[in-house]
Structure 1
Protein backbone atom coordinates (compact mmCIF):
# COMPACT_ATOMS: atom_id res chain seq x y z
CA UNK A 1 0.00 0.00 0.00
CA UNK A 2 1.34 3.42 -0.93
CA UNK A 3 0.40 6.55 1.03
CA UNK A 4 1.16 9.89 -0.61
CA UNK A 5 1.33 12.81 1.80
CA UNK A 6 1.34 16.24 0.18
CA UNK A 7 3.61 18.99 1.48
CA UNK A 8 3.85 22.56 0.21
CA UNK A 9 5.50 25.75 1.53
CA UNK A 10 3.59 26.82 4.63
CA UNK A 11 2.08 23.44 5.56
CA UNK A 12 1.13 22.73 9.19
CA UNK A 13 3.47 20.06 10.52
CA UNK A 14 1.12 18.05 12.74
CA UNK A 15 -1.51 17.91 9.98
CA UNK A 16 0.77 15.56 8.05
CA UNK A 17 3.15 14.17 10.68
CA UNK A 18 0.36 12.90 12.94
CA UNK A 19 -1.16 10.68 10.23
CA UNK A 20 2.36 9.75 9.09
CA UNK A 21 3.09 8.28 12.52
CA UNK A 22 -0.02 6.11 12.27
CA UNK A 23 -0.13 5.06 8.62
CA UNK A 24 3.63 4.65 8.35
CA UNK A 25 3.54 1.91 11.01
CA UNK A 26 1.07 -0.31 9.15
CA UNK A 27 2.51 -3.49 7.64
CA UNK A 28 3.55 -3.44 3.97
CA UNK A 29 3.01 0.30 3.73
CA UNK A 30 5.17 2.86 1.94
CA UNK A 31 4.71 6.51 2.85
CA UNK A 32 6.06 9.05 0.39
CA UNK A 33 6.07 12.81 0.85
CA UNK A 34 5.21 14.48 -2.45
CA UNK A 35 5.51 18.09 -3.58
CA UNK A 36 5.55 20.13 -6.74
CA UNK A 37 9.35 19.96 -6.67
CA UNK A 38 11.60 17.57 -4.72
CA UNK A 39 13.62 18.85 -1.78
CA UNK A 40 13.08 20.47 1.57
CA UNK A 41 9.68 22.08 2.15
CA UNK A 42 9.35 24.50 5.07
CA UNK A 43 6.31 24.51 7.36
CA UNK A 44 4.14 27.47 8.35
CA UNK A 45 6.18 28.24 11.46
CA UNK A 46 9.35 28.41 9.39
CA UNK A 47 11.36 26.17 11.68
CA UNK A 48 10.75 22.65 10.38
CA UNK A 49 11.30 21.13 6.96
CA UNK A 50 10.16 17.89 5.36
CA UNK A 51 12.18 16.37 2.55
CA UNK A 52 9.81 15.66 -0.33
CA UNK A 53 11.50 12.83 -2.19
CA UNK A 54 8.98 12.72 -5.04
CA UNK A 55 7.12 15.06 -7.35
CA UNK A 56 3.48 14.69 -8.33
CA UNK A 57 4.59 13.18 -11.62
CA UNK A 58 6.51 10.49 -9.74
CA UNK A 59 3.43 9.24 -7.87
CA UNK A 60 0.62 8.33 -10.25
CA UNK A 61 -1.46 5.69 -8.43
CA UNK A 62 -1.24 6.03 -4.65
CA UNK A 63 -3.67 4.03 -2.56
CA UNK A 64 -4.14 6.86 -0.07
CA UNK A 65 -3.66 10.60 -0.61
CA UNK A 66 -3.48 13.01 2.31
CA UNK A 67 -3.51 16.80 2.08
CA UNK A 68 -2.89 18.85 5.21
CA UNK A 69 -3.66 22.50 5.80
CA UNK A 70 -1.54 25.47 6.72
CA UNK A 71 -0.87 29.10 5.92
CA UNK A 72 0.34 28.18 2.44
CA UNK A 73 -2.77 26.22 1.51
CA UNK A 74 -4.42 29.13 -0.33
CA UNK A 75 -1.54 29.25 -2.82
CA UNK A 76 -2.27 25.64 -3.82
CA UNK A 77 -5.89 26.15 -4.81
CA UNK A 78 -5.58 27.64 -8.31
CA UNK A 79 -7.90 25.72 -10.63
CA UNK A 80 -5.13 24.96 -13.11
CA UNK A 81 -2.44 24.52 -10.46
CA UNK A 82 -0.26 21.40 -10.36
CA UNK A 83 -1.63 20.10 -7.05
CA UNK A 84 -5.26 20.48 -8.12
CA UNK A 85 -4.63 18.74 -11.42
CA UNK A 86 -2.72 15.92 -9.72
CA UNK A 87 -5.47 15.40 -7.15
CA UNK A 88 -8.12 15.14 -9.84
CA UNK A 89 -6.02 12.57 -11.68
CA UNK A 90 -5.04 10.30 -8.79
CA UNK A 91 -8.47 10.47 -7.15
CA UNK A 92 -9.79 8.26 -9.96
CA UNK A 93 -7.91 5.29 -8.53
CA UNK A 94 -7.31 6.03 -4.84
CA UNK A 95 -8.86 3.88 -2.17
CA UNK A 96 -8.95 6.92 0.12
CA UNK A 97 -8.56 10.61 -0.63
CA UNK A 98 -8.17 12.49 2.63
CA UNK A 99 -7.51 15.85 4.23
CA UNK A 100 -6.67 17.28 7.61
CA UNK A 101 -7.68 20.74 8.80
CA UNK A 102 -7.88 23.31 5.97
CA UNK A 103 -6.53 20.73 3.53
CA UNK A 104 -10.25 20.12 2.95
CA UNK A 105 -10.37 23.36 0.98
CA UNK A 106 -7.78 22.01 -1.44
CA UNK A 107 -9.90 18.90 -2.05
CA UNK A 108 -12.95 21.14 -2.38
CA UNK A 109 -11.20 23.44 -4.85
CA UNK A 110 -10.45 20.38 -6.97
CA UNK A 111 -14.18 19.63 -7.02
CA UNK A 112 -13.75 16.35 -5.17
CA UNK A 113 -16.04 17.18 -2.25
CA UNK A 114 -18.88 18.80 -4.21
CA UNK A 115 -22.21 17.55 -2.87
CA UNK A 116 -20.51 15.69 -0.05
CA UNK A 117 -20.21 16.05 3.72
CA UNK A 118 -16.87 17.15 5.14
CA UNK A 119 -15.19 18.82 8.07
CA UNK A 120 -12.26 21.15 8.57
CA UNK A 121 -10.82 23.47 11.23
CA UNK A 122 -13.57 25.09 13.29
CA UNK A 123 -12.58 28.59 12.15
CA UNK A 124 -13.27 27.73 8.50
CA UNK A 125 -16.07 25.19 8.76
CA UNK A 126 -18.86 27.42 7.45
CA UNK A 127 -16.78 28.42 4.42
CA UNK A 128 -17.08 24.91 2.99
CA UNK A 129 -20.57 25.79 1.79
CA UNK A 130 -19.03 28.13 -0.78
CA UNK A 131 -17.58 25.05 -2.49
CA UNK A 132 -20.85 23.15 -2.56
CA UNK A 133 -19.83 21.07 0.45
CA UNK A 134 -22.02 20.30 3.46
CA UNK A 135 -20.02 21.22 6.60
CA UNK A 136 -20.23 18.76 9.48
CA UNK A 137 -19.07 19.64 12.96
CA UNK A 138 -17.46 16.26 13.65
CA UNK A 139 -13.85 15.38 14.34
CA UNK A 140 -13.73 12.98 11.38
CA UNK A 141 -16.18 12.72 8.49
CA UNK A 142 -16.25 9.91 5.94
CA UNK A 143 -18.31 10.23 2.77
CA UNK A 144 -17.63 7.70 0.05
CA UNK A 145 -13.87 7.23 -0.28
CA UNK A 146 -13.22 10.70 1.13
CA UNK A 147 -12.15 11.17 4.75
CA UNK A 148 -11.76 14.64 6.22
CA UNK A 149 -10.48 15.55 9.67
CA UNK A 150 -11.08 18.68 11.71
CA UNK A 151 -8.22 20.82 12.97
CA UNK A 152 -4.61 19.63 13.19
CA UNK A 153 -4.62 16.93 15.90
CA UNK A 154 -7.76 15.33 14.45
CA UNK A 155 -5.58 13.88 11.70
CA UNK A 156 -4.36 11.23 14.16
CA UNK A 157 -7.94 10.14 14.82
CA UNK A 158 -8.67 9.99 11.11
CA UNK A 159 -5.55 7.93 10.41
CA UNK A 160 -6.49 5.42 13.12
CA UNK A 161 -9.99 5.10 11.67
CA UNK A 162 -8.52 4.44 8.23
CA UNK A 163 -6.04 1.94 9.70
CA UNK A 164 -8.95 0.05 11.24
CA UNK A 165 -10.94 0.00 8.03
CA UNK A 166 -7.96 -1.10 5.95
CA UNK A 167 -6.26 -3.63 8.22
CA UNK A 168 -8.71 -4.30 11.02
CA UNK A 169 -9.34 -3.00 14.51
CA UNK A 170 -6.51 -4.93 16.14
CA UNK A 171 -3.93 -3.54 13.73
CA UNK A 172 -5.17 0.00 14.38
CA UNK A 173 -5.23 -0.54 18.14
CA UNK A 174 -1.68 -1.90 18.00
CA UNK A 175 -0.48 1.28 16.32
CA UNK A 176 -2.41 3.37 18.83
CA UNK A 177 -0.64 1.57 21.66
CA UNK A 178 2.77 1.89 20.01
CA UNK A 179 2.42 5.66 19.71
CA UNK A 180 0.70 5.76 23.13
CA UNK A 181 -2.14 7.86 21.83
CA UNK A 182 -4.29 8.33 24.93
CA UNK A 183 -5.00 12.07 25.14
CA UNK A 184 -5.50 13.59 28.58
CA UNK A 185 -5.25 17.34 27.90
CA UNK A 186 -4.67 19.58 30.91
CA UNK A 187 -7.38 21.99 29.71
CA UNK A 188 -10.85 21.55 28.24
CA UNK A 189 -10.22 24.18 25.56
CA UNK A 190 -9.93 21.90 22.56
CA UNK A 191 -13.17 23.03 20.91
CA UNK A 192 -15.20 26.19 20.70
CA UNK A 193 -17.92 24.45 22.71
CA UNK A 194 -15.70 23.92 25.74
CA UNK A 195 -13.15 26.75 25.58
CA UNK A 196 -13.79 29.93 27.61
CA UNK A 197 -15.21 32.76 25.47
CA UNK A 198 -12.09 34.86 26.01
CA UNK A 199 -9.95 32.02 24.63
CA UNK A 200 -12.19 31.60 21.59
CA UNK A 201 -11.94 35.33 20.93
CA UNK A 202 -8.16 35.33 21.33
CA UNK A 203 -7.76 32.31 19.04
CA UNK A 204 -9.95 33.97 16.44
CA UNK A 205 -7.73 37.05 16.44
CA UNK A 206 -4.59 34.94 16.07
CA UNK A 207 -6.10 33.03 13.14
CA UNK A 208 -7.25 36.12 11.28
CA UNK A 209 -5.20 37.01 8.18
Structure 2
Protein backbone atom coordinates (compact mmCIF):
# COMPACT_ATOMS: atom_id res chain seq x y z
CA UNK A 1 0.00 0.00 0.00
CA UNK A 2 1.43 3.37 -1.05
CA UNK A 3 0.36 6.51 0.78
CA UNK A 4 1.25 9.86 -0.78
CA UNK A 5 1.02 12.92 1.46
CA UNK A 6 0.58 16.10 -0.57
CA UNK A 7 2.57 19.30 -0.13
CA UNK A 8 1.65 22.67 -1.67
CA UNK A 9 2.97 26.16 -0.98
CA UNK A 10 1.55 27.36 2.34
CA UNK A 11 0.57 23.93 3.71
CA UNK A 12 0.07 23.47 7.44
CA UNK A 13 3.06 21.47 8.79
CA UNK A 14 1.13 19.59 11.47
CA UNK A 15 -1.52 18.55 8.92
CA UNK A 16 1.32 16.79 7.09
CA UNK A 17 3.66 15.55 9.79
CA UNK A 18 1.02 13.98 12.06
CA UNK A 19 -0.47 11.59 9.47
CA UNK A 20 2.93 11.02 7.87
CA UNK A 21 4.46 9.85 11.14
CA UNK A 22 1.52 7.61 12.00
CA UNK A 23 1.46 5.98 8.58
CA UNK A 24 5.25 5.66 8.43
CA UNK A 25 5.26 4.00 11.86
CA UNK A 26 2.69 1.52 10.60
CA UNK A 27 4.92 0.35 7.75
CA UNK A 28 7.43 -1.72 9.74
CA UNK A 29 4.72 -3.02 12.06
CA UNK A 30 2.81 -4.22 8.99
CA UNK A 31 5.96 -5.96 7.69
CA UNK A 32 6.50 -3.38 4.96
CA UNK A 33 2.94 -3.55 3.61
CA UNK A 34 2.73 0.26 3.79
CA UNK A 35 5.09 2.92 2.46
CA UNK A 36 4.70 6.71 2.65
CA UNK A 37 5.97 9.53 0.43
CA UNK A 38 5.84 13.31 0.55
CA UNK A 39 4.75 14.52 -2.88
CA UNK A 40 3.75 17.64 -4.78
CA UNK A 41 1.92 18.31 -8.03
CA UNK A 42 5.20 19.47 -9.56
CA UNK A 43 7.40 16.61 -8.36
CA UNK A 44 10.49 16.65 -6.18
CA UNK A 45 11.10 20.11 -4.71
CA UNK A 46 11.39 22.10 -1.50
CA UNK A 47 7.89 23.21 -0.53
CA UNK A 48 7.47 26.20 1.81
CA UNK A 49 4.90 25.77 4.55
CA UNK A 50 2.62 28.51 5.82
CA UNK A 51 4.89 28.89 8.85
CA UNK A 52 8.07 30.62 7.69
CA UNK A 53 10.84 29.55 7.33
CA UNK A 54 9.79 25.90 7.69
CA UNK A 55 9.69 23.83 4.52
CA UNK A 56 9.53 20.15 3.67
CA UNK A 57 10.94 18.32 0.68
CA UNK A 58 8.65 16.49 -1.70
CA UNK A 59 10.54 13.49 -3.02
CA UNK A 60 8.15 12.57 -5.83
CA UNK A 61 5.17 13.71 -7.89
CA UNK A 62 1.60 12.99 -6.86
CA UNK A 63 0.67 9.98 -8.98
CA UNK A 64 -2.93 8.80 -8.57
CA UNK A 65 -2.29 5.83 -10.84
CA UNK A 66 0.34 4.56 -8.39
CA UNK A 67 -1.06 5.58 -4.99
CA UNK A 68 -3.53 3.72 -2.81
CA UNK A 69 -4.01 6.59 -0.36
CA UNK A 70 -3.63 10.34 -0.94
CA UNK A 71 -3.56 12.63 2.10
CA UNK A 72 -4.34 16.33 1.54
CA UNK A 73 -3.47 18.88 4.25
CA UNK A 74 -4.90 22.30 4.81
CA UNK A 75 -3.09 25.63 4.82
CA UNK A 76 -1.48 27.62 7.61
CA UNK A 77 -2.27 31.32 7.58
CA UNK A 78 -4.68 33.93 8.88
CA UNK A 79 -8.10 32.54 9.72
CA UNK A 80 -11.06 33.70 7.61
CA UNK A 81 -12.34 37.05 8.88
CA UNK A 82 -14.58 38.90 6.46
CA UNK A 83 -12.57 41.32 4.32
CA UNK A 84 -9.35 39.77 5.64
CA UNK A 85 -10.07 36.67 3.50
CA UNK A 86 -8.43 38.43 0.55
CA UNK A 87 -5.09 39.03 2.29
CA UNK A 88 -2.25 37.09 0.68
CA UNK A 89 -1.51 35.33 3.97
CA UNK A 90 -5.10 34.29 4.66
CA UNK A 91 -6.04 30.61 4.48
CA UNK A 92 -8.61 31.18 1.69
CA UNK A 93 -5.99 33.03 -0.39
CA UNK A 94 -3.40 30.29 0.11
CA UNK A 95 -5.90 27.61 -0.90
CA UNK A 96 -6.97 29.68 -3.91
CA UNK A 97 -3.34 29.82 -5.08
CA UNK A 98 -3.10 26.04 -4.78
CA UNK A 99 -6.15 25.82 -7.04
CA UNK A 100 -4.16 27.67 -9.70
CA UNK A 101 -1.59 24.86 -9.93
CA UNK A 102 -1.79 21.36 -11.36
CA UNK A 103 -2.98 20.00 -8.01
CA UNK A 104 -6.79 20.09 -8.56
CA UNK A 105 -6.55 17.95 -11.72
CA UNK A 106 -4.45 15.38 -9.89
CA UNK A 107 -6.86 15.36 -6.94
CA UNK A 108 -9.78 14.83 -9.34
CA UNK A 109 -7.88 11.93 -10.89
CA UNK A 110 -7.35 10.56 -7.38
CA UNK A 111 -11.04 10.74 -6.49
CA UNK A 112 -12.03 9.23 -9.84
CA UNK A 113 -9.72 6.23 -9.53
CA UNK A 114 -11.45 3.12 -8.12
CA UNK A 115 -9.73 1.67 -5.08
CA UNK A 116 -7.91 4.87 -4.13
CA UNK A 117 -8.86 6.65 -0.89
CA UNK A 118 -8.42 10.41 -0.54
CA UNK A 119 -8.05 11.65 3.04
CA UNK A 120 -7.91 15.25 4.22
CA UNK A 121 -6.86 17.05 7.37
CA UNK A 122 -8.38 20.36 8.46
CA UNK A 123 -8.62 22.69 5.43
CA UNK A 124 -7.72 19.93 2.99
CA UNK A 125 -11.43 19.20 2.58
CA UNK A 126 -12.05 22.89 1.86
CA UNK A 127 -9.43 22.72 -0.89
CA UNK A 128 -11.32 19.81 -2.48
CA UNK A 129 -14.63 21.62 -2.09
CA UNK A 130 -13.31 24.85 -3.59
CA UNK A 131 -12.12 22.80 -6.57
CA UNK A 132 -15.67 21.45 -7.00
CA UNK A 133 -14.58 17.88 -6.29
CA UNK A 134 -16.79 16.92 -3.32
CA UNK A 135 -20.08 18.65 -4.05
CA UNK A 136 -22.88 17.00 -2.11
CA UNK A 137 -20.53 14.75 -0.15
CA UNK A 138 -20.28 14.67 3.66
CA UNK A 139 -17.02 16.06 5.00
CA UNK A 140 -15.58 17.85 8.00
CA UNK A 141 -12.95 20.52 8.54
CA UNK A 142 -11.79 22.97 11.22
CA UNK A 143 -14.86 24.23 13.09
CA UNK A 144 -14.15 27.79 11.92
CA UNK A 145 -14.26 26.64 8.31
CA UNK A 146 -17.45 24.56 8.31
CA UNK A 147 -19.62 27.37 6.93
CA UNK A 148 -17.12 27.90 4.12
CA UNK A 149 -17.09 24.15 3.45
CA UNK A 150 -20.88 24.11 3.14
CA UNK A 151 -20.83 27.25 0.97
CA UNK A 152 -18.40 25.47 -1.37
CA UNK A 153 -20.91 22.67 -1.88
CA UNK A 154 -19.97 19.93 0.57
CA UNK A 155 -22.24 18.66 3.34
CA UNK A 156 -20.45 19.91 6.45
CA UNK A 157 -20.50 17.44 9.35
CA UNK A 158 -19.64 18.32 12.95
CA UNK A 159 -17.39 15.33 13.67
CA UNK A 160 -13.72 14.61 14.34
CA UNK A 161 -13.47 12.15 11.42
CA UNK A 162 -15.96 11.58 8.59
CA UNK A 163 -15.82 8.38 6.51
CA UNK A 164 -17.56 8.60 3.13
CA UNK A 165 -15.96 5.53 1.61
CA UNK A 166 -13.18 6.70 -0.69
CA UNK A 167 -13.19 10.11 1.04
CA UNK A 168 -12.11 10.35 4.68
CA UNK A 169 -11.89 13.82 6.22
CA UNK A 170 -10.58 15.13 9.53
CA UNK A 171 -11.46 18.26 11.49
CA UNK A 172 -8.83 20.57 13.04
CA UNK A 173 -5.07 20.14 12.70
CA UNK A 174 -4.51 17.50 15.40
CA UNK A 175 -7.16 15.29 13.79
CA UNK A 176 -4.44 14.16 11.39
CA UNK A 177 -3.40 11.68 14.08
CA UNK A 178 -6.94 10.30 14.35
CA UNK A 179 -7.48 10.17 10.58
CA UNK A 180 -4.25 8.25 10.02
CA UNK A 181 -4.90 5.81 12.88
CA UNK A 182 -8.42 5.21 11.57
CA UNK A 183 -7.06 4.54 8.09
CA UNK A 184 -4.49 2.12 9.49
CA UNK A 185 -7.30 0.27 11.24
CA UNK A 186 -9.55 0.29 8.16
CA UNK A 187 -7.01 -0.38 5.44
CA UNK A 188 -4.30 -2.43 7.17
CA UNK A 189 -5.49 -3.97 10.47
CA UNK A 190 -6.73 -3.02 13.94
CA UNK A 191 -3.60 -4.66 15.39
CA UNK A 192 -1.30 -2.35 13.46
CA UNK A 193 -3.39 0.71 14.38
CA UNK A 194 -3.33 -0.29 18.05
CA UNK A 195 0.44 -0.78 18.08
CA UNK A 196 1.04 2.62 16.49
CA UNK A 197 -1.46 4.24 18.86
CA UNK A 198 0.47 2.74 21.77
CA UNK A 199 3.82 3.74 20.28
CA UNK A 200 2.91 7.42 19.95
CA UNK A 201 0.89 7.44 23.20
CA UNK A 202 -2.19 8.94 21.57
CA UNK A 203 -5.75 7.87 22.21
CA UNK A 204 -8.08 8.62 19.33
CA UNK A 205 -10.79 11.18 20.02
CA UNK A 206 -14.41 11.19 18.97
CA UNK A 207 -16.66 8.78 17.10
CA UNK A 208 -16.07 8.34 13.39
CA UNK A 209 -19.13 9.55 11.45
CA UNK A 210 -19.76 7.11 8.63
CA UNK A 211 -22.02 7.61 5.64
CA UNK A 212 -22.59 3.87 5.55
CA UNK A 213 -23.83 3.63 9.13
CA UNK A 214 -27.41 2.61 9.74
User: Shorter-normalised TM-score: what interval?
Assistant: 0.7 to 0.9
SS of residue in 1 equivalent to 2:148: helix
Of 49, 52, 57, 2:55 maps to: 49
Residue 108 (structure 1) aligned with residue 113 (structure 2): no
Runs of 4+ in 1 over 4 A off after TM superposition: none
Residue 36 of structure 2: aligned partner: 31
Residue 171 (structure 1) aligned with residue 192 (structure 2): yes
Query: Within 5 Å, which residues of 2 pair with 1:1-209?
Result: 1-26=1-26, 27=30, 28-37=33-42, 38-56=44-62, 60-70=65-75, 71=77, 72-78=94-100, 81-93=101-113, 94-182=115-203
Q: Deviations over 1:139-178 (max 9, x none)?
A: 1111121001001001110111111111221210101111
SS of residue in 2 equivalent to 1:47: coil
Under a length normalisation based on structure 1, what TM-score does the superposition of the two structures give? 0.80
Q: Number of residues paired by the alignment? A: 181
- Unaligned 5+ runs, structure 1: 184-209
Looking at structure 1, the residues matched to 182 and 203 of structure 2 have their Cα atoms a distance apart, in angstroms, of 15
Q: Deviations over 1:96-127 (max 9, x none)?
A: 11110111112113333211111001111111
Query: How far is 1:68 from its partner?
Result: 0.3
Looking at structure 1, the residues matched to 147 and 105 of structure 2 have their Cα atoms a distance apart, in angstroms, of 25
Q: Deviations over 1:14-60 (max 9, x none)?
A: 1011001111122321211111332211211113221101123x563
Query: How far is 1:182 from its partner?
Result: 4.1
Looking at structure 1, the residues matched to 167 and 201 of structure 2 have their Cα atoms a distance apart, in angstroms, of 27
- Unaligned 5+ runs, structure 2: 78-93, 205-214
Q: Deviations over 1:47-78 (max 9, x none)?
A: 3221101123x563310011101143231124
